[in-house]
Chains A and B, each alone.
Chain A
Amino acid sequence: MKPFITIIITGTFAALLPLLIGDNPYITGVLITVLMMAALASAWNILGGFAGQFSFGHAAYFGTGAYTTMILLYQWNINPIPGIMAGIVAACIIALVTGSIVFRLRGHYFGLASIAVAEIVRLTVLNFEFTGGAQGILVTDVALSGLDLNSKNPFYYGMLLVLVITLLISAYLRTSKTGFYLQAIREDQDAAASLGINISQYKNRALLISASLTSVLGSLYAMYIRFIDTNAVLDLRLSIEIILTAIIGGVGTLWGPVLGALLLVPLAEMLRTNILGDALVKAGLVSETSPIGIFLKENLAHAHVLVYGIITVVCILYLPKGILVLFRRHK
């Protein structure tokens, strides 16, 4: 029962946060990204962490949700709520096709095939008329009765809701038969099969749960930004960022992916807006006109991927189980 209570309490606290912040669109925007990455990494973690099936193509499900909702809205003016449902259905179809083919294989084949599927989805979207092709889809007016979608708060609560649902599902899975079976598959597939576990059925189950949640987040993101193209929602970079968030936080744990997002998103934001560089200058450590100061000003903003890389390497070397271990008491 303990993890469920922790999730509800943390979720309630997070729900009260906008009241403290007040009307600050910038901070709210960063928090929305934190919640979204936390939810994406947690959803990925159900498949990658619990079942041990590393998907390198989760952008496919994110993009499928985003595009399905946007196309329905743009072409046929269909309300976002049925749009989100349609996104889940589309993502599940792609997941089922992918899973039934590649889960027969072992080891790294699923990882490789997941990249291939994501690329197929991306190239398909890029080359069709009704998906907007390379131009993407821009929607100027998103209407949902009773909600002011020009404010960021509905999206804050939307992302938070999906995150809480994802964490509750994860917590439930860990104590249930399905969770035991997924972990058995992760540890040893042959041993798992000998205990009566239908390997491909349980892997598919994990993939369907993970893909559905990822798709909902894609739909929310599309409604929030109101503009999508393949670079924003179907890129390999997004898939990698999801994995890194989970790995750096702690693969296979409940709170690891959340911790990863809490750390990485603000860090990327600080680098992007050059807060770090400015702080160094203000602290008098670096002169603004010195070569180092100029270098930092010009390049640090583009460095967040590099910093992700360094953190990942450090984590793999010194904290292979993720940063979450630092917060655990040693037995």
Chain B
Amino acid sequence: MTTHLLDIRHVNKHFGGNLAVSDVSFSVEKKQIFGLIGPNGAGKTTLFNCITGYYPVTAGDIVFDNKKINKLRPDQVCKLGMARTWQKVKPLGSLTTLENIMTGAFSKTNSPRIARQIALKHLETMGLADYTDKSAAALSIGLKKKLELARVLATDPKLLLLDEICGGLNHTETAAILEIIRMVRNNGITIVFIEHDMKAVTSICDRIVVLNSGEKLAEGTPEEITSNPAVIAAYLGGGTNANH
């Protein structure tokens, strides 16, 4: 048995003749915070969609918790303990904040009473208690991101995939979210996250994979990544702007 929670093995994803993800492999260890970065169109979100069962992979294997999951549906993947958030937030608009989180909590219980207890707990830790009975559609973007985090945490995951959770947030909000991510990891949950904000990524990640045009460009610790010439050229802008 390995300590790997998630193994991506030679994954390919084509859309027609378009190669979105090409022969990407990496492993995520338990309790890691794992960063997935790359310029726009590098295939990060496509890879997320493959891992979580929204897209079938063209070739390769995805192994989660020693189980091959590349043929599973999104709901089956979730049941195994993998949860995701969305780059473009997807609140259940006509439901309240509490009801949104309860919907997540129902994945582990059939009882509305228990689901409510679980939801209230996450509502509290996420600082959303003031918005319990507010319609989710009416929340600000920062609160919607927190709501989405609370909702996936309510499914009691082992692995959390976060797709640009800090996108569209200001510095204070970003800092708050990063703090929550650290706390979540300290509770034993492994995290893979896609992020554009280099400062956010390098400050929090244990390990980083860089994708470029669907291919893995580099992998390493934040220090290795930020000093890698290929990464600087591809991602940080030709080396002239490396301190950006």
Contact = CB atoms under 8 A, between A and B. Distances in A.
B102 A195 contact: no
Interface residues of A, number: 21
B92 A196 contact: no
Nearest to B111: A177
Nearest to B110: A177
B155 interface: yes
A320 to B, nearest CB: 12
Contacts, number: 81
Nearest to A199: B75
A252 B92 CA distance: 14
Residue from the set B75, B86, B91, B107 with the largest chain A CB neighbour count within 10 Å: B75
Nearest to B161: A194
Interface in A184-220: 184, 186-188, 190-199
B112 A196 contact: no
Interface stretch (B56-64, B76-84, B186-194): B76-84
B99 interface: yes
A175 B106 CA distance: 12
A176 B84 CA distance: 24
B141 to A, nearest CB: 16
B74 A194 contact: yes
B103 A194 contact: no
B94 interface: yes
Nearest to B102: A180
B103 A184 contact: yes
Contacts of A195: 75, 78, 83, 103-104, 106-107, 151-152, 155
Contacts of B83: 194-195
B94 A190 contact: no
Contacts of B94: 183, 186-187, 252
Identify whether the interface residues of A are mostly helix, strand, loop, or mixed: helix
Interface in A147-197: 175-177, 180-181, 183-184, 186-188, 190-197
A187 B106 CA distance: 16
A287 B78 CA distance: 71
B83 to A, nearest CB: 7
A243 B172 CA distance: 48
B95 interface: yes
A123 B78 CA distance: 43
Interface in A298-324: none
B90 interface: yes
Interface string A47-64: 000000000000000000
A176 B112 contact: yes
A155 B86 CA distance: 52
A183 to B, nearest CB: 6
B92 A183 contact: yes
Contact of B54 (A175, A181, A190, A198): A190
B75 A193 contact: yes
B98 to A, nearest CB: 11
Contacts of B220: none
A118 to B, nearest CB: 28
B90 A188 contact: yes
Interface in B145-181: 151-152, 155
A93 B71 CA distance: 29
Contacts of B84: 194
A181 B92 contact: no
B73 interface: yes
B93 interface: yes
B32 interface: no
Residue from the set A175, A187, A199, A252 with the largest chain B CB neighbour count within 10 Å: A187
A193 B93 CA distance: 16
Contacts of A180: 95, 99, 102-103, 106, 112, 115
Contacts of B93: 187-188
A177 B112 contact: yes
Contacts of B52: 194
Contacts of B152: 194-195
Nearest to A195: B104
Contact of A184 (B86, B92, B115): B92
A187 B89 CA distance: 12
Nearest to B107: A196
Interface in B3-19: none
A175 to B, nearest CB: 6
Nearest to B148: A191
A27 B95 CA distance: 41
A188 B92 contact: yes
Given A177-B112, A187-B95, A198 B106 contact: no
Contacts of B91: 187-188, 191
B95 A183 contact: yes
Interface of B: 52-54, 73-75, 78-79, 83-84, 86, 90-95, 99, 102-104, 106-107, 109-110, 112, 115, 151-152, 155
Given A180-B115, A195-B104, A195-B106, 11 more contacts: A177-B109, A180-B103, A181-B106, A187-B92, A187-B94, A188-B90, A191-B92, A192-B103, A195-B75, A195-B152, A195-B155
Interface of A: 175-177, 180-181, 183-184, 186-188, 190-199, 252
6 contacts: A177-B110, A180-B103, A187-B93, A187-B95, A195-B155, A196-B155
